[in-house]
Amino acid sequence: MITIWKQENKKLVEGCDKDTPCWVDARNVTREDIRILESEYHIAPEIIMDILDQDELSRIEREDDFTLIIVRLPIFLAANEVSYFTIPVGILLFPDRIITICWADCEVLHDITNNRVRGISLSDLPAFVLRVLSRADLMYLRYLKEINRRSNTIELELQKSVRNLELIQLLNLEKSLVYFTTSLKSNQLLFEKLMKTRLIQLDEEDRDWLEDVATDNKQAIEMSEIYSNILSGMMDAFASVISNNLSIVMKRLTVISLVLMLPTLITSFYGMNVPLPMTGWGGYRAVLAIIALCIGSSVAAILLLVDKVPKKPKKIQSGRRRLKKRNRAIQ
């Protein structure tokens, strides 16, 4: 879907004027949209395919008529197995207009079109690009905090009962953090190239703003790496807990099988047609003997299965009390 936006009274509205710069917003791109971009806006199909490639990294290139900027923006889709991930967004900067191309709906662009971002101005197109990059860093930080809160909630649920569902959710969050870290580092290289080169004409104020955006991006990189390390340690810890619980269960099952083996062994011996001790006791005494053996085995099983209560450590006497005792002994 292609939407054209213009600015009236400092707000974005649909429409386009010949004398004022406009913004061509192409999201959820279809084949018809690709045809329009190629025929009406003269964008090469190779560039469109690069932008629509899900694995495309951030970069900036200078073409004949425009400057191409590809930046990776965060996105949240609750229906996906991995809810938080990133997508490439192409920004084509012309002298009189700006074109953005994205294969999905992005919350960063959605907020801009709904006039939720202050200071948006289509009269200064390089500053508009910086607004998009700044909003992207803000969404990265917001999503990272949401991922951290979700991981804490799942951790509390795992402390009550270890299930596969919570572990899969933690694994998906860890994937999201890997996607975020990779995309943020790719964006950081883009910011450094923007600061070092003159591919976009930025004034002194815009350059200071770009440095602030790069600083926020570095903060997002550090947060994503910290959360990723915490989540990896949490996964390892819960894996150890699961292994320990399995060892405890196997120990108990082994003790129970050994206890049940003794009555079975005795019964199988006395089921043979050979002379054995106590065969003349009669049924009553034999039943009592088997019951006694079962009770003894049960008591042994209870003693083995019940965890031993650790003894309380003896109180360590302080140095003053020891000195007093020594003085009394000397006297």
CATH number of the domain that residue 114 is part of: 3.30.460.20
Q: Does the residue 289 lie in any domain?
A: no
How much is the mean pLDDT over the chain?
A: 82
pLDDT of residue 302: 76
pLDDT of residue 186: 92
Output the pTM of the full model: 0.76
Residue in the block written with tokens 């050994």: 258
- Of the pLDDT bands very low, low, confident and very high (cuts 50, 70, 90), residue 314 is very low
Q: Does the residue 284 lie in any domain?
A: no
Question: Taking 70 as the threshold, does the pLDDT of residue 321 lie above it?
Answer: no
**Residues 85, 172 contacting (CB under 8 angstroms):** no
Stated length of the chain: 331
Q: Does the residue 275 lie in any domain?
A: no
Q: Does the residue 111 lie in any domain?
A: yes
Question: Taking 80 as the threshold, does the pLDDT of residue 92 lie above it?
Answer: yes
Could you report the per-residue pLDDT of 50-75, keeping only the tens digit for each? 999 888 899 999 888 889 999 999 99
Q: Does the residue 305 lie in any domain?
A: no
Nearest to 130 by CA among 154, 98, 167: 98
Could you report the per-residue pLDDT of 110-130, keeping only the tens digit for each? 888 888 888 788 888 888 889
Q: Does the residue 150 lie in any domain?
A: yes
**Residues 217, 184 contacting (CB under 8 angstroms):** yes
Q: Does the residue 274 lie in any domain?
A: no
Q: CA 150 from chain center: how many Å?
A: 9
Q: Does the residue 315 lie in any domain?
A: no
Find the domain containing 214 and state its range. 2-242
Q: What DSSP string describes 41-104?
A: S---HHHHHHHH-TTPPPEEEE-SS-EEEEEEEEEE-TTSSS-EEEEEEEEEE-SSEEEEEESS
Helix (H, G, I), strand (E, B) or coil at 7: strand
Domain count, the chain: 1
